[in-house]
């Protein structure tokens, strides 16, 4: 597929790797936005808003090409579980995820000054029951500190996950199938 050259508005090395897997040529910009949820904002609306805001912020930095923004959140019992602030916060999150399923939502927005395409991918992820030793050891690996929900499925955290229902790459940070479809639609409408 002959994709358009785009700008990726992301600081995530995982998103860069996934976009590279698709064979997309892209320029990278870091889009700093306020990620505070709005009062009574549903998780799906929140993650879609962040993806759009990242893309719009990227557009302000580079206006010659379409900009792709994405965001991933972990949702359990309707609550968004962010990046852990410290071990106590991480421990509480892991206790909440232990032995049950939760949702990972990834939103992608592709836009320029005149048009916008977007998608939302939701994946169910199951955690095996975790012991205190599992949680302690995983925290001290250093991996959880910058991850939504405190884990990375593509790293050591994958050993806690016996099953997913949905898109593995979306849980990592960028749904490959859906991103490919957005880029193809963009080219077809060019």
Looking at residue 2, the DSSP 8-state letter turns out to be: -
Identify the CATH class of 6-188: alpha beta
Q: What is the mean pLDDT of the chain?
A: 95
Concatenate the DSSP letters of all residues of 33-78 into one string: ---PPPTT--HHHHHHHHHHHHHHHHHHH--SS-EEEEEEEEEETT
pLDDT digits (tens, 9 = 90+) for 23-81: 999 999 998 899 999 999 999 999 999 999 999 999 988 868 999 999 999 999 999 99
Burial readout 8-34 (b: 16 or more C-beta within 10 A, e: otherwise): bbbebebbbebbeebebebeebebebe
The confidence score (pLDDT) of residue 1 equals 64
Report the distance separating Cα 42 and Cα 28, nearest Å.
29
**Average pLDDT estimate for 158-162:** 98
pLDDT digits (tens, 9 = 90+) for 145-155: 989 999 999 99
Q: Residue 141: pLDDT above 80?
A: yes
Residues 6+ apart with CB under 8 A from 133: none
Report the distance separating Cα 34 and Cα 49, nearest Å.
11
Which of the residues are catalytic?
A: 71
Hey, what are 8's tokens?
């990726």
**Where do the structural domains in the chain lie, given as residue ranges?**
6-188
The confidence score (pLDDT) of residue 62 equals 80
4 band by pLDDT with thresholds 50, 70 and 90: confident
Determine contact, residues 13/33, Cβ cutoff 8 Å: no
């Amino acid at each position: 597929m002959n994709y358009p050259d785009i700008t990726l508005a992301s600081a995530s090395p995982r998103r860069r790797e996934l976009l590279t897997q698709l064979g997309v040529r892209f320029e990278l910009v870091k889009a700093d936005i306020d990620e505070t949820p709005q009062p009574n904002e549903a998780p799906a609306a929140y993650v879609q808003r962040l993806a759009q805001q990242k893309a719009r912020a990227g557009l302000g930095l580079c206006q010659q090409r379409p900009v792709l923004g994405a965001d991933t959140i972990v949702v359990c019992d309707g609550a968004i579980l962010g990046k852990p602030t410290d071990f106590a916060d991480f421990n509480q999150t892991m206790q909440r995820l232990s032995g049950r399923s939760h949702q990972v939502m990834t939103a992608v927005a592709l836009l320029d000054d005149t048009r916008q395409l977007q998608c939302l991918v939701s994946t169910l992820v199951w955690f095996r029951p975790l012991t205190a030793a599992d949680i302690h050891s995983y925290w001290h690996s250093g991996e959880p500190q910058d991850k939504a929900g405190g884990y990375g499925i593509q790293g050591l955290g994958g050993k806690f996950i016996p099953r997913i229902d949905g898109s593995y790459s979306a849980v990592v940070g960028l749904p490959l199938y859906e991103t490919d479809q957005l880029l193809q639609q963009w080219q077809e409408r060019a």
